[in-house]
Amino acid sequence: MDKFVELKRAVETVEIVDTHAHNIVALDSNVPFLSCFSEAKEEDETIDFKNPTNLCKVSLPIIQIPKEESSSIVEISMRSLKEVAELYGSKLSVDAVQESRQHLGLESSANTCFKAARISALLIDDGLDLDKKLDIKWHEHFAPKDGRILRIEDVAKKILEKDTDGTKWTLDSFLIKLLPLKSIVAYRTGLAINTDVTIKEAEEGVSEVLCGDFLDYIFIHALVVAQSYDLPMQIDTGFGETDLDLRLANPLNLRNLLDDKRFTKNRLVLLHVSYPFSKEASYLASVYPQERSLVYLDFGLAIPKLRYHRMISSVKELMDFAPVNKVMFSIDGFAFAESFDLVPFLHQLLLIHLFIALYARDSADDDPIGILHFLTWKLQIIRLNVECMGLTSICDNLSEDTWLPASGEARTVPDLSTKCRVPWAKHQEMVLTDMLTEPGKPWHYCPRDVLRQFSKILEDDDGLVMNVGVEVEFYILKTILVMQSFDRTPYCSTAAIDAASSVLNEIVAYAITQADNLVYTHEIIKGIANMAYWQLLCPSKYSPDGNWPYRDDQSAHDAGSGSHVHISLSKNGKNVFTASSDYNRYGMSKFGESLMAGVLSHVRSICVFSCPLPNSYECFETKSWNALFLCWGPETKELTMRTCSPPGMDGAVTNFELRTFDGCANPPLGFAALIVAGIDGLRNNLKIPDPADPEDYNLFDYNDENEDTRLPTSLSCSIIHIFSDEWFLETMGENFLKARRGVCGDEIKYYCECGKDPYSEVMFKY
């Protein structure tokens, strides 16, 4: 059952790349809104339910709309109408839905439908003749990426009509203007393309666009242009009107074209599952598996056209033969934004049914969720040498003594649940990746999987989940000939906020709503700062002691920046860090105290991951908001750790803060180290020591040789501590820590050899 829950969640959340759709029309267009739900004509006074030409466009349980509710009795999909009515919060009738969309307005209703459909990219065929259709640019408001599908026959027809002025017309003048992407040749003269058609034969039939020789000639040259620009060619196949002879649209007729060596690099996309030739299309895709001559299959129109059980069998026929990475999905919506929302709803039902069947086959080779992502969003896998984990912040040279193998590779596979739109680049998105050694098997050096593994251990042990919040701090510098601090104001001065208000407004808008983790937060803030020609820096200190070429004397004495983390525990969605009637020590529960005690006892080992650069230790200074000692206190920001009690909690603690976390840290590895330390505290029921008073520093020994109460003074000290920490060695593994030590060793070496200027090359990378 867990598999089915995960599958259902994936189907309901995955975003769609719609590879074939049509323009939306204006509200006052003469295209009847009823066509969004039915193919029946408004002028029909009666409906013959036995006539297949009048079958509902979305063939599910149907209702009849009385004349008082609509202009005629028509056939409609109850489920489709209900879906749109629920989306708008209207009554269950066509008139009520139409009234709601009129009230919302076109843009608002379209935004509602596209958001519900989860469309992230849209390719539009604007060759469909629709009254008052909106241009492609209008659609950019609702999908991050939009593109145009060009019908080559429409272009040919327009050019022929334009150039009928008595002058001699040649095909050469036409080819100069051609940009091919889609052909309807299958609906006109069939797919038995004559690859040897001559220019003379084509020009003899130039007076009629539907002439077979002419269309074949145009199609052949369109393939040449498509190959030059690496463009796919979509071919409309299947589900033709009654006046078309679909016998000629059998995709097996393409064999002659596919075997022609001139077109081995072309990519053909057969739209609408080539119905009723689905098996033939699937076979064609399976026998041309080579990377050059590719045949892709699109099953989009099968969903709204066919009845539900036929949908399943038709798509299943495709997947029985065709490789999964050659099966595609499109909505084929047109005229109304509501048509874009209806198909994904049925798409969900279809995929859930189909993938449950895959699970039932009990095949180890089938990964339904992976197949789902292939169908709706083509995944691009990047292969990296396993030694990439030995790279430092300094350069692309590999670190020595990392114990990483010299051969082998890790595959970076996108995790689509992390995908977010990039605010500073209109048509781009970002996604985090997992590193795998083979399908379904994570690489044990993958930072995200390391965090995932230890999170699972924490949950398996006590049913606990660690929640982490981060205080993101950074520097903003003006990008001028000489770098200098953006402002010279003291801590918490409103003047600094005023000076940077334009970029900070953008940062808040996107960082809060789109950054689901620290990686995205840094990237988003950095990208938006760059838009304003400013430089964002995340190191602890960008000018320690003012000793670098672009030094700023004031910044040499600032407290530095960090990414202080706030940590709490939850169980079944409830915060269990806070004290209860059963246990209350310093406002913490037993779980909370043990977790915090574990982190405090291993904080020097954690620094290997949370403070990864020599620069990270520059801010560990007395009276600089980061104390030097292993201690904690309630609501005390000058100590290494503090407990936090929001107003009105009467001393109850909701979380604790750890200040030894750097903006240059790898977040998954840093958080994983926190969990490792916390697990030790929980398993051994560790007790937190008494809190320290920050004003009573005589409790501590300032002798540099006293390592018992001090934080590490350098990255070297952190490395020494972690290799003397038996718990970390056992839990994270000696080889893993050796790899980390090798990278840190090169960082330290660079720091020592660069004298007074160890930062200028590194700091702009963070």
Query: CB of 237 within 8 A of CB of 271?
Result: yes
Query: CB of 344 within 8 A of CB of 300?
Result: no
Domain spans in the chain, listed from the N-terminal domain onward: 1-27+110-148+334-378, 38-104, 150-332, 474-537, 570-765
In this prediction, residue 535 has a pLDDT band, given cuts at 50, 70 and 90, of: low
pLDDT in tens, 207-222: 555 567 788 888 888 8
- Averaged over 185-206, what is the pLDDT? 73
- Averaged over 159-165, what is the pLDDT? 61
Q: Where is average pLDDT lowest: 492-496, 542-546, 620-624, 703-707?
A: 492-496
Q: Which is nearest to 266 in space by CA: 290, 231, 235? A: 231
C-alpha separations of 111 from 65, 131, 340, 535 in Å: 27, 21, 11, 35
**Separation of alpha carbons 308 and 317, rounded Å:** 14
If one counts every other C-beta atom within 10 angstroms of the C-beta of residue 162, the result is: 8
Given this model, what pLDDT does residue 661 score? 85
- Averaged over 649-675, what is the pLDDT? 86
pLDDT in tens, 552-583: 555 555 556 667 888 888 898 888 998 888 88
Residues 6+ apart with CB under 8 A from 168: none
In this prediction, residue 308 has a pLDDT band, given cuts at 50, 70 and 90, of: low
Q: What percent of the chain has pLDDT over 90?
A: 7
Query: CB of 324 within 8 A of CB of 375?
Result: yes
The conformational region for residue 335 under phi > 0 = left, psi -120 to 50 = alpha, else beta, is left
Rg of the chain over all Cα atoms, to the nearest angstrom: 32
Q: Which is nearest to 71 in space by CA: 109, 104, 45, 99? A: 45
Above 60 in pLDDT, residue 338? yes
Q: What percent of the chain has pLDDT over 70?
A: 57
- Averaged over 311-320, what is the pLDDT? 68
DSSP 8-class letter at 273:
G
pLDDT in tens, 57-97: 333 333 333 333 333 333 345 667 777 888 888 888 888 88
pLDDT in tens, 29-53: 888 887 776 654 444 443 332 332 3
Given this model, what pLDDT does residue 524 score? 61
- Averaged over 639-654, what is the pLDDT? 82
Residue linked to tokens 């049913």: 463
Mean pLDDT, the chain, as a whole number?
Answer: 71
In this prediction, residue 272 has a pLDDT band, given cuts at 50, 70 and 90, of: confident
- Averaged over 495-511, what is the pLDDT? 39
**Separation of alpha carbons 682 and 463, rounded Å:** 12
What is the separation, in whole angstroms, between the first and last Cα of the chain?
44
CATH architecture, domain 570-765: 2-Layer Sandwich (3.30)
Given this model, what pLDDT does residue 678 score? 94
Given this model, what pLDDT does residue 475 score? 64
pLDDT in tens, 735-752: 888 888 888 887 777 777
Given this model, what pLDDT does residue 640 score? 84
Q: Where is average pLDDT lowest: 117-121, 230-234, 586-590?
A: 117-121
Q: Which is nearest to 215 in space by CA: 240, 239, 248? A: 248
pLDDT in tens, 395-451: 656 666 665 665 667 778 777 777 777 766 666 677 888 888 877 788 888 888 888
Above 80 in pLDDT, residue 688? yes
Q: What burial class does residue 679 get, using C-beta atoms within 10 Å of its C-beta: 0-12 exposed, 13-18 middle, 19+ buried?
A: buried
More confident call, 471 vs 262: 262
CATH architecture, domain 150-332: Alpha-Beta Barrel (3.20)
In this prediction, residue 347 has a pLDDT band, given cuts at 50, 70 and 90, of: low
More confident call, 471 vs 289: 471
Structure tokens at 485: 């601090």
Three-class secondary structure of residue 201 per DSSP? helix
Peptide bond into 276 cis (omega under 30): yes
Given this model, what pLDDT does residue 63 score? 33
Three-class secondary structure of residue 577 per DSSP? coil
pLDDT in tens, 380-395: 556 666 556 666 665 6
The counts of H helices and E strands in the chain are 26, 25
